[in-house]
């Protein structure tokens, strides 16, 4: 008989990832280094941003080189609001959604008129525009960035100060948006998006005008990444223009490629590998990018589907 298109690996690997993530605080409770907790929180935050990027890259064939801008918007939503006394995390997220959604709508509407290398360049340009805007906000630290007066409040309570609570807040966001993205890619909308990725002219020939679908995906991916920014600001208790810079955008692409394009959970694996390797290689030598670069090239050459692709092949 015909083989199934969705092997169970699609379900098992994400399940393992989230089970593992759920248990990390337990490990630190029984003696593992507390530093691990903040490290894995970072992994989940970048995993969230990379997963949002994978929605564009892996499902819509849109190579955005400015996705860190949305992380920056989320972080500055927290920074700017909390410095004017608005500490409620839900208000901050609502503002982050509105700002990132609007920025994605306007810049996406323009960028998506271009194709291929032009799209990459124009998303990069818009990202850098935001970076320089953040750098010029003298009232909010300019290029030095700004330290937050405090972490966000949840229903008026300062519970995010607790690293375990912050950890689970990041965990719930990652899990929730993973479930959302899974649903989206399997929906009517998601199938159109996947179709456009495969063959745009074919989709036009059956009556789909691709532009509105791409734009909607672009806005959704931007809004999800802004939540990563809200979390990042809270974890670091600091916001900086660097969050939105092109290096960060490139890192997000690295993560997605490393983990496996077009699988969603691959982006989380990629973020984990990236953050861990950067952390430990940088302890070994200051020249760690010289090891890191070739490593990435090897993955791209020998493991086309990234780590998620390898896991699928082994099953």
Judge whether 225 and 100 are in contact, CB under 8 Å. Answer: yes
Decide whether 195 or 278 has the Cβ nearer to another protein: 195
On the 0-12 / 13-18 / 19+ scale of CB atoms within 10 A, 101 is middle
Rounded to a whole number of angstroms, the minimum distance from the CB of residue 19 to another protein is 23
Residue 6 CB, nearest approach to another protein (Å): 9
* 190 Cβ neighbours under 8 A, 6+ residues apart: 59, 184
For 228-265, what is the HEC assignment? HHHHHHHHHCEECHHHHCHHHHHHHHHHHHHHCCCCCH
Q: By C-alpha distance, which of 44, 87, 10, 36 is closest to 228?
A: 44
Q: Closer to another protein at the Cβ: 217 or 275? A: 217
Cα–Cα distance measured from residue 77 to residue 238, given in angstroms and rounded to the nearest whole number: 12
As measured in angstroms, the least distance from the Cβ of 258 to another protein is 21
Cα(230)–Cα(47) distance, integer angstroms: 14
Q: Which residues contact 86 (CB under 8 A, 6 or more apart)?
A: 92
Nearer to another protein, 199 or 285 (CB): 199
Alpha helices (runs of H) in 61-150, residue ranges in sequence order: 68-83, 89-111, 116-135
CB 244 within 8 A of CB 72: yes
Degrees to nearest 5, angle at CA 260 with 257 and 264: 110
Which H or E run includes 146?
strand 146-147
Question: 66 or 190, CB closer to another protein?
Answer: 190
Q: Which helix H or strand E contains 20, and what residues bound it?
A: helix 9-29
| 197: Cβ contacts below 8 Å, ≥ 6 apart | 58, 59, 60, 61
User: Considering beta carbons, is residue 259 or 262 the nearer one to another protein?
Assistant: 262
Cα–Cα separations (whole angstroms), residue 280 to 84, 158, 274, 283, 292: 38, 32, 10, 5, 11
Q: Which is nearer to another protein, 114 or 187 (CB)?
A: 187
Q: How far is the CB of 192 from another protein (least distance, A)?
A: 5
Question: Measured from the CB of residue 126, what is the shortest distance to another protein in angstroms?
Answer: 25
Site residues for another protein per CB under 8 A: 2-5, 183-184, 186-192, 194-195, 198-199, 201-209, 212-213, 216
Q: Which is nearer to another protein, 150 or 199 (CB)?
A: 199
Least Cβ distance, residue 277 to another protein (angstroms): 30
CB of 113 to another protein, least distance (A): 14
Q: Among 250, 270, 258, which residue's Cα sits nearest to residue 48?
A: 270
Residue closer to another protein by CB (options 19, 206) is 206
Q: Which is nearer to another protein, 6 or 283 (CB)?
A: 6
For residue 75, the minimal CB distance to another protein (Å) is 26
- Least distance from C-beta 94 to another protein, angstroms? 20
């Amino acid at each position: 008989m015909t083989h199934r298109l969705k092997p169970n690996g699609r379900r098992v690997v994400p399940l393992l990832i989230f089970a593992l993530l759920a248990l990390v605080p337990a490990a630190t409770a029984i003696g593992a280094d507390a530093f691990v907790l903040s490290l894995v929180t970072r992994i989940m935050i970048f995993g969230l941003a990379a997963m949002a990027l994978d929605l564009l890259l892996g499902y819509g064939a849109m190579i955005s080189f400015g996705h860190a801008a949305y992380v920056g918007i989320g972080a500055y939503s927290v920074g700017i609001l909390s410095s004017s006394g608005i500490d409620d995390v839900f208000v901050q997220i609502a503002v982050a959604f509105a700002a990132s959604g609007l920025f994605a709508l306007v810049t996406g509407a323009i960028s998506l008129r271009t194709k291929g290398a032009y799209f990459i360049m124009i998303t990069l340009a818009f990202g850098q525009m935001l970076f320089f805007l953040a750098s010029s906000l003298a009232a909010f630290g300019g290029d030095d960035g700004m330290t937050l007066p405090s972490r966000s409040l949840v229903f008026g309570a300062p519970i995010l100060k607790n690293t375990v609570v912050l950890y689970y807040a990041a965990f719930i966001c990652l899990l929730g948006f993973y479930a959302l993205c899974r649903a989206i890619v399997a929906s009517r909308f998601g199938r159109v998006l996947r179709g456009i990725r495969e063959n745009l002219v074919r989709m036009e020939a059956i009556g789909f005008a691709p532009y509105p679908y791409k734009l909607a995906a672009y806005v959704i991916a931007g809004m999800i990444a802004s939540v990563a920014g809200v979390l990042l600001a809270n974890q670091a208790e600091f916001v900086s223009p660097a969050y939105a810079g092109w290096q960060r955008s490139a890192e997000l692409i690295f993560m997605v490629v490393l983990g496996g394009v077009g699988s969603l959970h691959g982006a989380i694996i990629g973020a984990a590998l990236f953050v861990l390797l950067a952390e430990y290689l940088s302890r070994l030598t200051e020249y760690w990018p010289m090891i890191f670069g070739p490593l990435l090239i090897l993955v791209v050459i020998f493991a086309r589907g990234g780590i998620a692709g390898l896991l699928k092949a082994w099953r």
